Homo-oligomer: A and B are copies of this chain.
């Protein structure tokens, strides 16, 4: 109830257009057209284009934080949490293919500077770092700085998701497990065992959609 649906329609439209046309190349008029809304209406919901983009960024980022903390607070064994986290994030990016492109452009824009100090970013980083710190302390993971392990982990998710989006590498069947194995090997001591397949709980994480229109 809080925010009418139109806000979200605009969000999804922007996401879509930015993937198609890039960060420039999507004027407000085009957003309005695609969202079946008058130009003025957008300004009823968002102060300016800048604000729209920043709020869209936060909207998505919160969903990522959600996924991480949900998976991270489950009570599974550490290695299972690790696998689930990888797979859940991967699925999120796969199922929301517009998100990665938007993120990359946002991060490289002037908007992002203000965001760096943002509380939620810290929450995100904090949660993930905590997860890896725990792994290091329990001698499960390599004794490297948690920032490094965290980067390797998230980097491999992002990379595989990007490959998927560009249709360069689409993981099939067992391959997704193979890749997570590789990621697990990279952050653990040689010889550490892999978790039982059967315990993994992987979610789809698709954002609700449909333009309201056809």
Binding site for B on A (CB under 8 A): 18-25, 101, 104-105, 107-110, 142, 144-145, 147-148, 151-152, 154-156, 158-160, 163, 168-169, 171, 175, 178-179, 182-183, 185-187, 190-191
Contacts and interface: CB of A to CB of B under 8 A. Distances in A.
Given A24-B23, A186-B182, A191-B190, A168 B147 contact: yes
B156 A25 contact: no
B175 A145 contact: yes
A25 B144 contact: no
A147 B163 contact: yes
Nearest to A187: B182
Contacts of A155: 155-156, 158-160
A44 B41 CA distance: 43
B156 A152 contact: yes
A152 B179 contact: yes
Given A144-B175, A178-B144, A187-B182, A110 B21 contact: yes
Given A21-B110, A23-B22, A110-B25, A154 B147 contact: no
Given A105-B108, A108-B104, A169 B182 contact: no
Contacts of A109: 22-25
Contacts of A182: 142, 144, 152, 186-187
A100 B105 CA distance: 12
A20 to B, nearest CB: 8
Contacts of A159: 151-152, 154-156, 158-159
A121 to B, nearest CB: 11
